[in-house]
Structure 1
Amino acid sequence: MRLTFFLLLCVPLTSAAAGLHLKVSSRSVSEPIAIKELAGDWRGTQHPGDIAWTRNRIELGVDINGWGIAYTQRYDYVLRFNSETADIYYRDKNDLPAPQGDVPVRLHAWHLRAQGVKFQRSFKWRNGVYVTPSVSLLKGWQFQDGEMQGLLRSDSGTFNGQADLDYRYSQDLLLDHQFRTPSGKGLAVDLTLGWRGESRQAWLQFQDIYGALWWRHAPHTHGRLNTMGRGDESVQLDPAFSGRRELKPYRQRLPVYTVGRYVQQQDDWDLQLDAEYFMDRLWLRPGIRWRALLGNPYLGYEVRDGQWALGLGDDRKRWHLQLASDTWRLERARALTLEFGYMVRW
C-alpha cells in the first residue's frame, strides 16, 4: 500500500477545514459459545444460537473541505449454522457421546481480509441534511466462502453420514488442498444519510451497500463428504471426499451492514439510541451521555445480547473510546465491541 501513503502525504494540509483521523473498531458476536472459545477448544458453556460473526476495521486518513482519503484494512468473518451443527461440534471438541438418530447439519462460512484506499465526499445543506458516500478500492489476500449441508446418523455408537460441499477459499480448512494462494481485487461502497438540528440529530449508515471482490484463480471444491465413524460413543468428523477441485474466477459478494443513531440533547446530558442490523437481526442500545462531567461519560445497554457499553470522549470530539461486553469477564464474552477514534484538525 505504498501508493496509499504517498497520496496521504501529498494531500495539502493548509486549509482550516483539514484534519487527520485514526479509527479502530471491532465488533464480535458469538451466540453458541464465548468468542474466545469459538476459534479454540469450545470448552466453555454452550448456549442456543445459530450465528457468529466479527467485523474489524482500521482507518487512517486525511479530510479536507468535505473530501477524504484514507488507508483502510478490514478483517471479517461470518458463520451461519443450525443448532444441530453447533451441538455436534461441541460434542466432538469435548469428547461427549454422539446424539441419537438422524441429525441435519448445515454450515455456511464467509471470510474476507483485505486492505486498500478509501475515497469519501460529504454533501451538506443548510437545513442540516447531509449525505456522505464513500468508495474503498480493496485488495484481498484471505477469503472463505462455502456451504456444507447434509445428514448424519448415530446408531449403536457409530457415527456416519454424508454432506454436500460447495467451497471456495484462499486456504483449505477442511481437506488441506494445496495450491498457489490467490489474490483478489474489488470495491466496497458505503452511504451515510444524516440530519443535524439544534437539539436533535440522527444518521443512518449502510456499510458495503454494494461490495464485491473478484478472485482470478480461486480454488473451488465441490462434491460430497462421507463422514466415517469409529466404534465408540464419541463424535469424530473424519471425512472422505468425492468430487472436483478446480481453479476458476469467482466474485465474492460483501454482506450489507447497517448502523444508525438518534441523539436528543438535554441541558447537561444526551439521550442516545443506537441501532444495528446485520444477519437478519436487529440490535438496539439506548444510552445516556453526561456532557457536564469530565470525559463526557456514556452508559448504554444493548437489549438483545445484554451488553453494557461504557464510553469516554472530549468536548471537541477529537477522541473517543468505547468498550461494550455482555460480561465483565471478557474471556467469557459472547458479545464484544471496541471502538477508538482520534482526530487532529488544522
Structure 2
Amino acid sequence: MTKPNALLLAILFSTSSYANDFEIINNFDSEIYTEAQPVKSFLDEFNKPLESGDSAFTFNVFELGVKYKGVSLGAQSRYNYALEFDPDTALFTYLEKNDLPFEKRNYRYLLKGKQSTTHGVFLAYDVALFDNSLTITPKVTYYQSAHFQDATVDGTIFSDEIKGDLQTQYFFSKDILFKSFTPDQSPEGKGYSFDLSIDWQISDDLNVSFKALDLVNETKYEGVGFVNGVTTDVPFIEEGDSIVTEPSIRLRTSAFNREVDYTFEHDARYYLDVSYRLNGRVSFDVFTRRFYKDTFVQGNVNYHFNDSWRVFSGYESNSKAVELGVANEYFGFSVKTDKLDLDDAHYANINWFVRLVL
C-alpha cells in the first residue's frame, strides 16, 4: 500500500504544480489627453479659453486571455488616435468655431492625425534569464481592421478667407474631412504589431523595467478612400498695380470607385519605470513615458499593508494629473486625472488588471 500511496501523492503534487502555472488574464487601459482645450470641449465645441499645446491622443486596449508557463495567448481590441497640430491651427479653429475676429495674416495650418480600430489575437512569451532576475517578453498581435484615418494637412490660410496654400495627404475608411469620398464598402485591413518589454530585478529593493509598444505596427488595407493634392492662390487678373488671386485646387480623389490599397503605420511609444522598496511599508516609483513629441514623468508613493496589498498615489508632469490606485499580485485598479470635474479635465485614465490563478 505504501508504494501506490506515494505514487498517488506524486501525481497529485505534480498536477497541482502545473495547475498553479495556469492563469486567466484580463487587462484594460483607457486614456485620453488634449492640450489646447479640455477633453469635452476639444471633441465638441472648442469653446473653452484657448491654452498652449500641439497634441492630443487617446489609447484604449482591452485584453482577455490565458497564460501558462510564461506563454500568454488571448484576444485583443484596440482604439488608438493621435493628433499633432500647430498652435496657430488651434488658434484658427478657436476663432472660427466661436465667431471671433481674425487678424489679417497667414495662419499656419498643420494637422497630422492617425486613428485605427483593431480586433485580433496576441501571443507573448516570458524569457527568464539569470535565475529569473531578468525577464524579456516579446509580444506579437495579429489583427483585422475596417476603420482608420491617416491624414496630413500642411500649409497656410489667410485670415478667415478661403485663400491659402495647403497640401493634403489623406487616406481613410470614412471621409470625415471632405465628407464626399467615403468608399461604398468598408476597407479590409490585416496587420500586426510587435511589443517588447524588459523587466530587471536588480536587487530585492530595486527594479527597472522598459517597454516599447507598437515597436512595429503595420496594417495593409484594400479598398481605401483618399484625397491627395494642393490648394494654392495663383495670379488671376491685374487691377492697376495689384494682382488679384483666387484659389486653384488640384486634388486626386477616390471618387468613381478609384479606391486604392494602402499601408498604415502607428508610431512607437516608450516607457521606462524605476521602483525602489524603502522598507516593508513604503516604496517609490518613477515612471517616464514618451509619446511622439511629449514626455511624461510621474512619481508614485506606495503604502504596503502587507506583502500583497498596497495603495498608491502619484503626480505626473505635462498632464498635471494625479493618480490613485490599489493593487496586489492578482488585481489592480487605478484612476488618473488632472481635474475632478471632467468638463475641465485635459487628461483622464482608467486602468485595471486581473490575474486568476487556477
- TM-score (ref. length: structure 2): 0.85
Please state whether the residue corresponding to 1:37 is helix, strand or coil: helix
**Amino acid of the structure 1 residue aligned with 2:338:** D
**Amino acid of the structure 2 residue aligned with 1:65:** K
Within 2, Cα distance between the matches of 1:67 and 1:141?
Answer: 29
Please state if 1:172 is matched with 2:180.
no
User: Which residue in the other structure is 2:253 paired with?
Assistant: 245
Alpha-carbon shift at residue 295 of structure 1 (Å)? 5.2
User: Which residue in the other structure is 1:107 paired with?
Assistant: 111
Alpha-carbon shift at residue 158 of structure 1 (Å)? 4.4
Alpha-carbon contact 1:79-1:110 (below 8 Å) kept: yes
1:217-271 CA distances to partner (integer Å, 9 max, x unpaired)? 22121123479xxxxxxxxxxx995411132211111210111211111221111
Alpha-carbon shift at residue 280 of structure 1 (Å)? 2.2
Alpha-carbon contact 1:98-1:159 (below 8 Å) kept: no
User: Which residue in the other structure is 1:193 paired with?
Assistant: 198
User: Which residue in the other structure is 1:233 paired with?
Assistant: none
Within 1, Cα distance between the matches of 2:320 and 2:262?
Answer: 39
Within 2, Cα distance between the matches of 1:101 and 1:200?
Answer: 56
Within 1, Cα distance between the matches of 2:225 and 2:355?
Answer: 42
**Amino acid of the structure 1 residue aligned with 2:195:** D
Within 2, Cα distance between the matches of 1:334 and 1:175?
Answer: 28
User: Which residue in the other structure is 1:289 paired with?
Assistant: 302
Q: Are residues 259 and 220 of structure 1, via their aligned partners in 2, closer, same or farther at CA, if it must alter by over 3 Å?
A: same
Alpha-carbon shift at residue 15 of structure 1 (Å)? 2.7
Alpha-carbon contact 1:269-1:292 (below 8 Å) kept: no
Within 2, Cα distance between the matches of 1:249 and 1:270?
Answer: 51
User: Which residue in the other structure is 2:315 paired with?
Assistant: 301
Within 2, Cα distance between the matches of 1:295 and 1:37?
Answer: 38
**Amino acid of the structure 1 residue aligned with 2:224:** A
Alignment match of 2:210 (pick from 204, 209, 218): 204
Identity of aligned residues (%): 20
Within 1, Cα distance between the matches of 2:161 and 2:23?
Answer: 64
Please state whether the residue corresponding to 1:332 is helix, strand or coil: coil
Please state if 1:324 is matched with 2:336.
yes
Within 2, Cα distance between the matches of 1:76 and 1:107?
Answer: 17
Please state if 1:130 is matched with 2:139.
no
Alignment match of 2:75 (pick from 68, 71, 74): 71
Please state if 1:118 is matched with 2:132.
no
Any unmatched runs of 5+ in structure 2? Answer: 1-16, 234-246
User: Which residue in the other structure is 1:184 paired with?
Assistant: 189
**Amino acid of the structure 1 residue aligned with 2:73:** I
Within 1, Cα distance between the matches of 2:248 and 2:176?
Answer: 14
Aligned positions, number: 319
Q: Are residues 211 and 95 of structure 1, via their aligned partners in 2, closer, same or farther at CA, if it must alter by over 3 Å?
A: same
Any unmatched runs of 5+ in structure 1? Answer: 1-12, 228-238
Deviant stretches of 4+, over 6 Å: none
Within 2, Cα distance between the matches of 1:169 and 1:74?
Answer: 17
Alignment match of 1:217 (pick from 216, 223, 230): 223
Please state whether the residue corresponding to 2:137 is helix, strand or coil: strand
User: Which residue in the other structure is 2:283 paired with?
Assistant: 270
Alignment match of 1:255 (pick from 261, 264, 267): 267
The 5 A counterparts of 1:55-70 are 55-70=59-74
1:255-296 CA distances to partner (integer Å, 9 max, x unpaired)? 101112111112211111111111122111011000028952
Q: Identify which range, 218-227 or 199-208, moves more after superposition.
A: 218-227
1:83-134 CA distances to partner (integer Å, 9 max, x unpaired)? 1111111112111112321212111111111010000100112160110001
**Amino acid of the structure 2 residue aligned with 1:272:** D
The 5 A counterparts of 1:40-55 are 40-55=44-59
1:128-168 CA distances to partner (integer Å, 9 max, x unpaired)? 011000100011121111111122112xx745323111100
Within 1, Cα distance between the matches of 2:289 and 2:248?
Answer: 41
Within 2, Cα distance between the matches of 1:128 and 1:14?
Answer: 22
Within 1, Cα distance between the matches of 2:301 and 2:354?
Answer: 22
- TM-score (ref. length: structure 1): 0.87
1:20-47 CA distances to partner (integer Å, 9 max, x unpaired)? 0111101221110111122111122211
Report the RMSD for the aligned CA atoms in angstroms.
Answer: 2.0
User: Which residue in the other structure is 1:162 paired with?
Assistant: 165
Within 1, Cα distance between the matches of 2:163 and 2:40?
Answer: 30
